[in-house]
Structure 1
Amino acid sequence: MTTLYLNEISDNLYLLLLSLNRHIFNPTVLTKKFNVPHSHIKVLFYLIHHGPISISKMAKELCISKPNMTPVIDKLVEEGLVTRDYDPTDRRVILIQTTPKALEFLKETQDYVKEIIKEKLSSLNDEDINTLSTSLESLLSVIKKF
């Protein structure tokens, strides 16, 4: 595989992410709708898939400094969306995990985003929808191999 071809694929994937963020997953829309900053939603989604986890490890994974992560976690604890618990295997470590309220909030967020997507898709013709569907299936199949 040539480096040029890999660079082109990388560029296209990056543009896809930017385009999705701009046109479908606009963080500003979610912030306005749910009155929760994008960084908080990002942390909650991360915790759903990777938690419970220490603040340090999560900060590193999300590329957020630990001093910036602490107030986010404090606010999420205050809102009842996450808890801090001692690691049963090492009491020096505090693990952050989601609460049932967070799961409910994320379900509501997910449903809202899906409605936005359906609304955007409804403006496409059948041929475009079929092309998009086939392309997404192929893309997901390849990405799952990472």
Structure 2
Amino acid sequence: MNTKNALKLFVVLNRTCATLVNADQENIRHYGLSRSAFSVLELLYHKGPQTVQDIGKKILLTSGSMTYVVNKLVERGFVQRDICESDRRVTYVGLTPLGTDFMDGIFPEHEQHIVKMFSALSDAQIVTLTETLKQLSASIK
């Protein structure tokens, strides 16, 4: 592997990630949410109720941050906590009807925002890039 090419790729990936994150944050802020809060809502919207621990693992939040974000979403009426009947130590978080309605209203627009961010790429390029980035991620772990 050419060291110069690897360094250039590292810089380009970092800049691209920052650009994507900034554009995504700006779009999400438009809905009155933090990126973490939106990530929790999006996960629950697509995957259904999850344990607090699983949410944290899937969206890469610490337990302290997770508690804060879930508390804020509970205050807004978007999510609710439910204690597991078979194991009272486990708490599930799920969308409320208000949370589902909220996501029904904003997710199509958010989806279009994401499509627009990648509009310079063909479907084939997106598939190739996705597979390449998965391979890179797996090799780093």
Normalised to the residue count of structure 1, the TM-score between the two structures is 0.64
Pair 1:132 & 2:121 matched: yes
Q: For 1:65, which of 45, 62, 67 is the aligned residue?
A: 62
CA apart distance, 1:98 = 1.5
Q: Deviations over 1:3-55 (max 9, x none)?
A: 97888877765554333223x42x13321x21222221111122234442222
Pair 1:109 & 2:110 matched: no
Pair 1:79 & 2:68 matched: no
Of all paired residues, the percent bearing the same amino acid is 25
- For 1:117 and 1:60, how far apart are their aligned partners in 2? 23
Q: Which residue of 2 aligns with 1:44?
A: 41
- For 1:88 and 1:94, how far apart are their aligned partners in 2? 9
Normalised to the residue count of structure 2, the TM-score between the two structures is 0.65
Q: Is the 8 A contact 2:48 2:94 kept in 1?
A: yes
Unaligned runs of 5+ in 1: 122-128
Considering only aligned residues, what root-mean-square deviation do their CA atoms show, in Å? 3.5
Pair 1:17 & 2:26 matched: no
Q: Is the 8 A contact 2:51 2:90 kept in 1?
A: yes
Q: For 2:90, which of 93, 100, 108 is the aligned residue?
A: 93
Q: Deviations over 1:50-83 (max 9, x none)?
A: 4422223322443322222222212211222111
Q: Which residue of 2 aligns with 1:124?
A: none
- Give aligned pairs, total: 134
Q: Is the 8 A contact 1:28 1:38 kept in 2?
A: no
Q: Which residue of 2 aligns with 1:29?
A: 27
- For 2:121 and 2:116, how far apart are their aligned partners in 1? 15
- For 1:8 and 1:103, how far apart are their aligned partners in 2? 43
